[in-house]
């Protein structure tokens, strides 16, 4: 039996804006994918809380940031998609060693503001695509550091509209993973660095930028690392070295430069998937699954997606 469509008039009154059949793929980093049944942009924090408190629990709710590591399937997202706006993008220095950042503050901007205030230790964020909210959700990291290493506390709101203050321990942070529920929405975080010379900090950020430009297809339509590096536990029982990286596995199975439709694994960095111009979301997902199939067949290892794939495949849209 088909599920009833969600319309804006069925939802709680808000001060923000509802948009029906809102395109999502066009604004994501892959520049492909489906639409939101209803897109909600809350006016501010209280508007978000009020919406969640009043919205029936059987209405699907999904939160998206800048979609730097997300594939929106071609059939789109049912229910309500929440995208936070400028009120959630603030970045402020507190004292000599702390930065408070909203959930949609870009990671690179957080690193930049920290550098301007002589707060070191957050430079790695300049190499992390996306926002603080997304980084919290997956414990993002780069160049040997992860968000859990600098997180003092975070604020999040649950599906019932209740705000919680949490720590890295509360979130169960591990490599590219947290135990937080899928429907939790992060509001912001307090991060800790240490006083340092702004010139030295900027020098380290310039080095990170140079390394990224030399080794990653950052100007392409991409979503960052496609697969997570395998853990020691995952490598046990295989013939692979204990320091095996995901890109090495993609290379091992002939994945570098492999194409399906308009999707291709980058020639520059084998663990980066790119839209060459006309890829569908299905092309991207099919390419990733082909890589995973080859790795499993040849090594016995199950490669884990680092990119999120959400929504309904186009062929199944009318079956929901």
Separation of CA 236 from chain center: 28
DSSP letter string, 3-21: PPPP-GGGSPP-SSEEEEE
Domains of the chain by residue range: 8-85, 89-196, 217-310
Residue 8 binned pLDDT confidence (cut-offs 50, 70, 90)? very high
d(C-alpha 260, C-alpha 279), whole Å: 8
Separation of CA 198 from chain center: 28
Q: Sign of dihedral through CA atoms 77, 182, 28, 161? A: positive
The whole-number average pLDDT for the span 290-297 is 98
Determine whether domain 217-310 maps to CATH 3.90.78.10: yes
pLDDT digits (tens, 9 = 90+) for 14-61: 999 999 999 998 889 999 999 999 999 999 999 999 999 999 999 999
Determine whether domain 8-85 maps to CATH 3.90.870.30: no
Burial of 222 (0-12, 13-18, 19+ CB in 10 A): buried
What integer pLDDT is reported at residue 317 of this predicted model? 45
Answer whether 8-85 and 89-196 agree in fold: no
Record the pTM.
0.89
d(C-alpha 207, C-alpha 209), whole Å: 5
89-196: CATH topology is: 3.30.465
What integer pLDDT is reported at residue 318 of this predicted model? 43
The whole-number average pLDDT for the span 254-274 is 97
Q: Which residues are marked as active site?
A: 176, 225, 306
Residue 305 binned pLDDT confidence (cut-offs 50, 70, 90)? very high
| 156, two tokens | 């999040």
| 220, two tokens | 């392409």
């Amino acid at each position: 039996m088909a599920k009833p469509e969600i319309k804006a008039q069925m939802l709680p009154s808000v001060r923000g804006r509802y948009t029906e059949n809102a395109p999502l793929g066009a604004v994501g980093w892959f520049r492909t994918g489906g639409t939101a049944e209803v897109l909600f942009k809350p006016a501010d924090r209280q508007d978000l809380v009020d919406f969640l408190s009043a919205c029936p629990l059987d209405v699907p709710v999904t939160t998206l940031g800048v979609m730097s590591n997300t594939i929106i399937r071609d059939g789109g997202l049912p229910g309500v998609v929440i995208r936070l706006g400028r009120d959630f993008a603030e970045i402020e220095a507190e004292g000599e060693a702390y930065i408070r950042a909203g959930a949609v503050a870009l990671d690179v901007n957080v690193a930049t503001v920290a550098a301007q205030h002589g707060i070191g230790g957050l430079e790695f964020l300049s190499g992390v695509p996306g926002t603080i909210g997304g980084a919290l959700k997956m414990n993002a990291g780069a160049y040997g550091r992860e968000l859990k290493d600098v997180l003092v506390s975070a604020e999040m709101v649950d599906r019932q509209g209740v705000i919680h203050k949490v720590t890295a321990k509360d979130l169960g942070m591990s490599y590219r993973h947290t135990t937080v529920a899928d429907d939790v929405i992060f509001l912001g975080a307090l991060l800790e660095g240490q006083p340092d010379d702004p010139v030295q900090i900027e020098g380290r950020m310039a080095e990170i930028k140079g390394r990224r430009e030399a080794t990653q297809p950052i100007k392409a339509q991409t979503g960052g690392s496609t697969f997570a590096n395998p853990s020691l536990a995952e490598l046990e029982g295989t013939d692979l070295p204990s320091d095996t990286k995901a890109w090495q596995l993609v290379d091992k199975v002939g994945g570098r430069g492999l194409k399906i439709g308009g999707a291709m694994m980058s020639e520059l960095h084998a663990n980066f998937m790119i839209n060459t111009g006309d890829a569908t979301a299905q092309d991207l997902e099919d390419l990733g699954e082909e890589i995973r199939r080859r790795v499993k067949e040849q090594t016995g290892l199950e490669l884990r997606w680092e990119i999120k794939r959400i929504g309904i495949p186009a062929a199944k849209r009318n079956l929901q």
